[in-house]
Amino acid sequence: MRKTMLALGLLLALAPAGAGAISIGLSPALVTGTVGVAFDLDVVVSGLGDAVAPSLGSYDVDITFDPAFLAFNSSSLVGALGAGSLQSSGAAAGVLDLAEVSLLSPADLDALQSDSFVLATLRFTPIAEGTSSLGFSQAIAGDGFGAPLQVTTGGARVVAEGVIPEPSALLLFALGALAVTRSKRGRS
């Protein structure tokens, strides 16, 4: 018992007060898309405690992309930091800024969050064929008390192929009408 208490004490005492590194990355890491066809990327955080500290109380990330290759369509912050959180998102010159601060208490944040979850969903459209990368130029994250969390980041790669020519709706309609007409004539 005494040894157990000592071991427990040592374990608790030597455990760092802060948390280890968390990860903020893009998912999926590889997107195979088509020029002109939008696709979604999730911004995912992982490495947090599962309903325990450390939880994520705030983040501010800048995601870089090549505007000659990708057109940014929209971002949707899913409110993972709780109702009423302060949010900001905006893109300019190939940099997408996402930031959010929770207004919940640290205990409520712990209870709300699992060890990994989606922060935001981003929508891009390839505008040119080829391969391009998305990465992070800034990643700040804080725990429930506003203390900084060490962050590792993971980007994504997008491979876009050319547009597959498709018959237009009007052409399809005309072909259908022609088929119906021929079928009627054949019956008569």
Partner 1 sequence: MAKRRQRRSGAGLVLAVALGLAAGAARAAEPAEPVALAGPLATAEGALEPLDVDVYTIEVAAGEQLFVALFDAQDGAFTDTRLSISLGGAVLATDDDGGDGFLSRVALEASAGGSYEIRISGFRDDDFDGSHAEGAAQPAPYRLVVGVGAPPLPGESEPNDLAGDADAIPAGGLLRGTLGSLDVDRYTLPVAAGDSIAVSLFPLDAATGSPLPSAELGDTRLGLFDAGALFAEDDDGGPGLFSNLARSAPAGASQVGIAVTGYRDSGYQGVHPDGPFDYALLVARFEAAGALLCDAAAPFGTIDEADVAAIFAARNTAASGPDDPRDADHDGTITVLDASKCRLCIGSATCPPPPACGLLGIEPLGVLALLAAARRRRSRRAAHEAEVSR
Binding site for partner 1 (CB under 8 A): 2, 5-6, 8-18, 57-60, 86, 88, 99-103, 105-106, 140, 142, 145-148
d(CA 76, CA 89): 8
| Nearest residue (CB) to partner 1, 76 versus 88 | 88
Q: Are 97 and 136 in contact (CB under 8 A)?
A: no
| Nearest residue (CB) to partner 1, 71 versus 101 | 101
Name which of 97, 96, 93, 113 is nearest 105 in CA terms. 113
| Nearest residue (CB) to partner 1, 41 versus 109 | 109
Q: How far is the CB of 9 from partner 1 (least distance, A)?
A: 4
Q: How far is the CB of 159 from partner 1 (least distance, A)?
A: 32
DSSP H helical segments within the chain, as ranges? 2-14, 106-112, 169-187
| Nearest residue (CB) to partner 1, 81 versus 156 | 81
Is the alpha carbon torsion for 158, 164, 170, 175 positive or negative? negative
Q: How far is the CB of 96 from partner 1 (least distance, A)?
A: 14
| Nearest residue (CB) to partner 1, 2 versus 187 | 2
Q: How far is the CB of 95 from partner 1 (least distance, A)?
A: 12
Q: How far is the CB of 145 from partner 1 (least distance, A)?
A: 5
Half-sphere exposure at residue 14, Cβ-oriented, CA atoms within 13 angstroms:
6
d(CA 12, CA 15): 5
